[in-house]
Amino acid sequence: MTLFDLTGKVAVVTGSSRGIGKAIVERLAEHGAKVVVSSRKAQACEEVAAAINAKHGAGAALAIPANISSKDDLQRLVDETVRVNGQVNILVCNAASNPYYGPLGGIADEQFRKILDNNIVSNHWLINMVAPAMQARKDGAIVIVSSIGGLKGNAIIGAYNISKAADFSLARNLAVEFGADNVRVNCIAPGLIKTDFARALWENPKTLAAFNARTPLARIGDPDEIAGAAVFLASRAGAYMTGQTIVVDGGQTIT
């Protein structure tokens, strides 16, 4: 067995029909995990799962659509995963929302609540749905995909950054609560990645040029460049790591 072998593990990844989540679910499957592809749109989930099954064999991937804003949807996601695959060994909370760009003084209450509910509360719900069984087995890996935005202020995406900073704290506190049962909880903090979710930031040539100018690698990231960190945190290679954040940002934090 290699340090990164995930054979026999079952992984649930939210927001995995595109972008970072899709890259993560593909790489987890490549390393042997049975994966559950989940996002709001059933067809998109089914297409990703079908491609994984075609590559790795029938049963390698299962599509279960779910809306992270619905606690019932999330419970169904967990229950159906357990019904089909027996358990959840790896959970990656990747799905998030950001319906507002602009200063905090202009955000509507419903927009702020949506950001906090979808980016923090839904993670709390889902983690607590899978954690008891992980604790009983004395084995589990939970990964929250946060953001470099949680480490700094921003006049345009401040509300989103606040939610991502809270995810760091959520991981730290749950790491303390679950550690005695060998259940690890960590975060990944991507920088600017070329996804549809971040399109408003990288599609503007001036914004992109300014970002590249202050980043040592002089470019934004690709979704697949985040997936390796998730594989590490989910595998035996990351067995002595919990309550931590891996920053994957091309060096922006050191400029």
Q: What is the pLDDT along the chain (255 residues), one digit of tens a residue?
A: 599 999 999 999 999 999 999 999 999 999 999 999 999 999 999 999 999 999 999 999 999 999 999 999 999 999 999 999 999 999 999 999 999 999 999 999 999 999 999 999 999 999 999 999 999 999 999 999 999 999 988 898 999 999 999 999 999 999 999 999 999 999 999 998 988 777 777 778 888 888 888 889 999 899 999 999 999 999 999 999 999 999 999 988 876
| Phi, psi torsion values for 164, nearest 5 degrees | -75, -30
The tokens 């595109």 sit on which residue? 18
pLDDT of amino acid 254: 72
The tokens 């690698």 sit on which residue? 217
If we measure between CA atoms, which residue out of 93, 81, 159, 163 comes closest to residue 126?
93
Is-catalytic flag, 240?
Answer: no
User: Which is the catalytic residue, given 100, 101, 160, 240?
Assistant: 160
**What does pTM read for this prediction?**
0.95
Give the Cα separation of 251 and 126 in Å (integer): 31
Give the Cα separation of 157 and 21 in Å (integer): 21
pLDDT of amino acid 210: 83
Amino acid letter, residue 189: A
pLDDT of amino acid 154: 87
Give the Cα separation of 246 and 185 in Å (integer): 12
